[in-house]
Amino acid sequence: MRIGLVMVTFIRAAHDKDRDALGALKLRSSLAWGDHIEELQALPEAREVPAEHVPYVIVAELDGRIVGFATVLADKGAIQAELEDLFVAPEVWRMGVGRTLLAEVECRAAELGARSLRVVAGERVRPFYEASEYRFTGTIATDFAHAAELHKDLP
């Protein structure tokens, strides 16, 4: 499937064996902004994807290499799902990988019966979500800074 300037060759479910690669991508993507570098490097969660999240993770691959992933947490029949993670390799930012993952997350949440999707996002990525029809609903304190809470109603 052609997305922007990138050919995303495969969207798939994550496997336990992907955890190290996903964790490394999560940290690399977070550090690429240049914010909170020392804090992120010291925080184990910044480089980990919990084993219990793996069944809820979808992966984007390009030429057999993981270039992004997203985690959607929702119980079957839950009214609201949570977009826990969405990370894209910095070298493919603004090439459609994030939009592809977000669309897949929205579809999966709707399939589970969710009527809305919630995400907590930093100010740098807030425009990405707002361009995808997420609406700002408030501000939440995180470990490093305040972040926007956004929601989107699902079809």
pLDDT digits (tens, 9 = 90+) for 35-65: 777 877 877 787 899 999 999 999 999 988 9
pLDDT at 3: 47
Tokens representing 21?
């690669």
pLDDT at 47: 84
pLDDT at 77: 72
pLDDT at 5: 52
pLDDT digits (tens, 9 = 90+) for 5-44: 555 569 999 999 999 999 999 999 888 887 777 877 877 7
pLDDT digits (tens, 9 = 90+) for 77-112: 779 999 999 999 999 999 999 999 999 999 999 998
pLDDT at 44: 77
**For 38-59, b where at least 16 C-beta lie within 10 A, e where not — what string?**
eebeeeeebbbbeeebbebbbb
Question: Domains in the chain, ordered, with CATH?
Answer: 2-114 (3.40.630.30)
Is residue 145 very low, low, confident or very high in pLDDT (cuts 50, 70, 90)? Answer: confident
Q: Are strands 80-88 and 116-121 parallel, antiparallel or unpaired?
A: parallel
3-state secondary structure of 112: coil
